[in-house]
Amino acid sequence: METMTTSPAIEMNGVWFSYDKTPILEDISFTLKQGDFLGMIGPNGGGKTTLLKLLLGILKPDRGHIHVLGEAPHRARRRLGYVPQNTDLNNTFPVSVMDVASMGRLARSRLGKRGSSQDRPVVEEALRKVGMWDRKNTPIGKLSGGQRQRVLIARALVTEPEILFLDEPTAKIDPEFETNIYDFLKELNRHATIVTITHDVGVISRYIKSVACVNQTLIYHEEPEITHEMLDMAYECPVDLIAHGIPHRVLPHHHGEG
């Protein structure tokens, strides 16, 4: 497909967005190339999740232009995967792990890829990769929050996305599986662009290729390094950061705390 090789993964130009006249994002412009692994950082309430929803076509900007894989976001949606932060599935609904993961194939069915004989191996592979194949017949309501998160990741993977968006994918997952998830995403990044919101500085240095800091505005850095400018904008405190796996530390003298 022509757009897969020639179009950037994401293009945003002069994007503004408000909720009830309250500015959430202001004048966002950046370009992300295909094949990148973007880590998005910033404070709670800074607009990170809103930005993802704009890229997915769930929300529309007040001003500015957005292209995803060369298309308007709502047109590119069939080529995207999304793992939301909220795992509040209906625990009383009688569906199994296999049922929930298979829901990701519905969009593909509309594109002519119908048939359980084609879908089942894809669903099985995704569930194995997130460590949930042995629970395939378990009702979704019997799972822990972390286990449900794994199933949601599998549901996104079975769409075979060209871009996978994840909103803090390991927030409710046990620490040992957190490493497995990012190792898996690194492998998936060989074939798909990854965009993930994270608060883990270690993830930035070990797995991703570029960083964006979002706090109403956006600062983008094309290397896996959090700059002082990003941290000043995100956390409003002076920091001393050493990249490549060593977390930042806050310096003892603060000015303008509050």
DSSP label at 42? -
Buried-state track 14-28, b at ≥16 Cβ within 10 A, e below 16: ebebeeeeeebbeeb
Both 142 and 233 in a single domain?
A: no
pLDDT digits (tens, 9 = 90+) for 230-255: 877 766 544 444 343 334 433 333 33
Q: What is the pTM of this model?
A: 0.81
6, burial (CB in 10 Å: exposed 0-12, middle 13-18, buried 19+) = exposed
Same domain, 66 and 104: no
CA angle 57, 94, 92 (to 5 degrees): 80
**Count: domains in the chain:** 3
Q: How many CA atoms lie within 13 A of 196 on its CB side?
A: 26
d(CA 208, CA 132): 25
Whole-number Å distance between alpha carbons of 174 and 193: 25
Out of 77, 103, 125, a domain closes at 77
Model pLDDT for residues 180-233, shown as the tens digit of each residue: 788 888 888 999 999 999 887 777 878 899 999 999 999 999 888 777 788 777
202-211 pLDDT, tens digit per residue, is: 778 788 999 9
Q: Is residue 14 part of a domain?
A: yes
Q: What is the pLDDT of residue 110?
A: 52
In which domain, by residue range, is 236 found? 228-258
Among 32, 51, 77, where does a domain finish? 77
Q: Domain check: are 182 and 236 in the same one?
A: no
Answer yes or no: is 185 within a domain. yes
- Residue 100 resides in a domain: yes
Q: Indicate whether 49 belongs to any domain.
A: no
Percent of the chain with pLDDT over 90: 48
CATH label of the domain that carries residue 94: 3.40.50.300
Give the residue from 135, 163, 164 showing the smallest Cα distance to 151.
Answer: 135
In a domain, 55, yes or no: no
Query: Does residue 103 lie within any of the structural domains?
Result: yes
Are 236 and 144 in a shared domain?
no
**Do 66 and 103 reside in the same domain of the chain?**
no
Same domain, 72 and 128: no
Q: Sign of dihedral through CA atoms 129, 87, 44, 21?
A: positive
In a shared domain, residues 70 and 21: yes
Residues in the chain, pLDDT under 50: 1-4, 111-113, 237-258
- Regarding whether 97 and 67 lie in a shared domain, the answer is no
pLDDT in the model for residue 247: 42
